Amino acid sequence: MIGVPLEYYLILSGILFTVGVVGVMIRKNPIVIFMCIELMLNAVNLTFIAFSHRWASFDGQILAFFVMTVAAAEVAVGLGIIVAIFRQRHSIDVDEVHLLKG
């Protein structure tokens, strides 16, 4: 295999995913949380593409397109919810949205 070895892709993907997870965990701003989620999704996309390339199969690339579609739909819904919450309480701090607290 010419060029970059598979391990590099996977390590990069793991770093990106971890960054995404930590971001979701520690940030309060839902916009940023969304961006982190996108980061995680794209980290997964990266592994799909890398394996697709490695095994010379198009399945991984097709799946990557699915993931992008779902991510777009999710962002549309998620941003809509955020707008609704903001209209309601003039804040989008996720820690202030805890009505489901038991």
88 lies in the binding site for another protein (CB under 8 A): no
1 lies in the binding site for another protein (CB under 8 A): no
- Judged on CB neighbours under 10 Å (0-12, 13-18, 19+), 91 is exposed
Q: Which residues 29-58 are close enough to bind another protein by CB under 8 A?
A: 33
Contact 16, 44 (CB under 8 A): no
- Give the one residue of 4, 11, 15, 26 binding another protein; rule: CB under 8 A: 26
87 lies in the binding site for another protein (CB under 8 A): no
Contact 13, 21 (CB under 8 A): no
Chain residues binding another protein by CB under 8 A are 21, 24-26, 33, 94-95, 97-102
